[in-house]
Amino acid sequence: MKEAFELLLQANFQKYLEILNDLIRIPSVSFENFDRKNVEHSALFLKNLLEKEGFENAQLLTPPGGHSSVFAEIPGKTDVPVILLYAHHDVQPPLRKELWKSPPFEPEIRNGRLYGRGSADDKAGIVLHLAAARLVKEALGERTPHLKILIEGEEEIGSPGLEFLLKEHAVLLKNDAVIVADLSNFAKGVPALTASLRGMTAAEVKVSALEAPLHSGSWSGPIPDPVQALCRMIASLTDDEGKIIVKNFSDTVAVPTNEEKEKYAALRIKEKTFRKDSGLLDGVAFTVPENLLPETLWRAPSVTVTAMETPGGFENVGNVLQNTARARISIRLAPGMDSKTAVNALTEHLKSVCPFHLHLSVTAETGAEAVIIDTSHPYFRKMFQALETGYGTEAKIIGCGATIPGVILFQKAFGEIPVLLLGVEDPECNAHGENESLYLEDFKKSILSEALFFHSVMEINSFS
């Protein structure tokens, strides 16, 4: 079957690449302060595209006040598995445009990589599903699973409306398994399935000392500086080795099993490679030794200051004692942790270390829980084998330090269904950063692999 799929893919790959280029050209940034019309344009473009490509029942699914997702399907017989294909069409902001070597929303191929915002995260995931579905339908006709596709429009802002969509359209979206095409391979040319995701929540922390900023020469000294106070409070979250020391914060973390630790060790992730892939500056040390890199990234919590702000900022710098300071603290949750419990522990810690009785407020964001995937499920094994066949090399089982809110929501909505996590990112793709790119050879192999999975899943006895 591989040869038949390869011939079809070769004949149609340029078309799929052009579709991906068209998607990249739509600046579908879902964050506030960006034009909502671009996300809606992206959704309408996809609805029309899916109809043109032979999908049925194409429609927009829109949560109240939110961005539209797109649904369509290729029906199968009544006795075949129903597989939901998930990706998202919203993207991150372009960030610093001057650092892009080509315009962020104008696709360009250089050295076998396609550059542009969304090229890897996650518009390639959309076209991966589309192309694999069309390949298997053309090659096998009715001998395919019933394929449904859901392309979300709010993933990059935490999927605030996805839970509503899964409840409101439960019958329409009902399935036996989900394939999420929004993850990463182990390395360029080395496919992987992800077996764990960290969760995420965040909190805005604000400390205030004055009603308004004051002349620093006339008032500083007796009056505490809220900016320094906030810095000390944030610094108290970790010890000198970077370990989180907030009371009760990590009590419920699910410790990796010996088998999982052995799998992490077998990946042989080297500090030199990790340093190069992350862009760590010369001389900067890691917080953990080399052998703990994957476990720390995938199965341990972290706290990160993603923003700090004072009223003036560098644009209006002066000799001023600021009246207030605030920061956003992002929390990555390890499996076993609860987002509300983690924020409560963080809040209690900040209260205990807040100096000079400064006024403190902590405002939590909506959280998404961590996930551990059952790697023993037959669908997982089938996908693993399909990746090895499609790529022609040994596949890996890895974790991911990031968060996909939809995974836990799918399991809550549809029961303990298998959720398969794959993708086309690699350590060089720079997703979320400037010069995001997609390695085209892996993109082609991922399409082939998913088509092979659709074929092989029909062989599982319960659906034969």
For residue 71, the cross-strand partners are 59, 150
Average pLDDT over residues 360-371: 93
DSSP 209-271: --SS-EEHHHHBTTB--HHHHHHHHHHTTB-TTS-B--TTSSTT--PPPHHHHHHHHHT---H
Q: Is the model's pTM score more than 0.85?
A: yes
Q: What are phi and psi of 216, to 5 degrees?
A: -70, -30
Q: Which has the closest alpha carbon to 174: 12, 2, 414?
A: 414
Q: What is the pLDDT of residue 366?
A: 85
pLDDT tens for 69-90 read 999 999 987 788 999 999 999 9
pLDDT tens for 170-217 read 999 999 999 999 999 999 999 999 999 999 999 999 999 999 999 999
Instruction: Write b or e for each residue in 314-346: b if 16 or more Cβ atoms lie within 10 A of its Cβ, otherwise e.
Output: eeeeeebbbbbbbbbbebbbbbbbebeebbebb
Domains with residue ranges and CATH for the chain: 2-197+370-463 (3.40.630.10), 199-253+300-364 (3.30.70.360)
Helix/strand/coil for 326? strand
Q: Are strands 82-88 and 396-400 parallel, antiparallel or unpaired?
A: unpaired
Question: Which pair of structure tokens corresponds to residue 425?
Answer: 């990112």
Question: Which pair of structure tokens corresponds to residue 315?
Answer: 């644009």
Q: What is the pLDDT of residue 458?
A: 83
pLDDT tens for 7-26 read 999 999 999 999 999 999 99
Q: What angle do CA 197, 200, 206 make, to 5 degrees?
A: 160
pLDDT tops 70 at residue 36: yes
Q: What is the pLDDT of residue 76?
A: 85
Distance, first Cα to last Cα, the chain: 18
- In sequence order, which ranges of 53-156 are alpha helices (DSSP H)? 123-140
Length of the chain: 464
pLDDT tens for 394-425 read 999 999 999 998 999 999 999 989 999 999 99
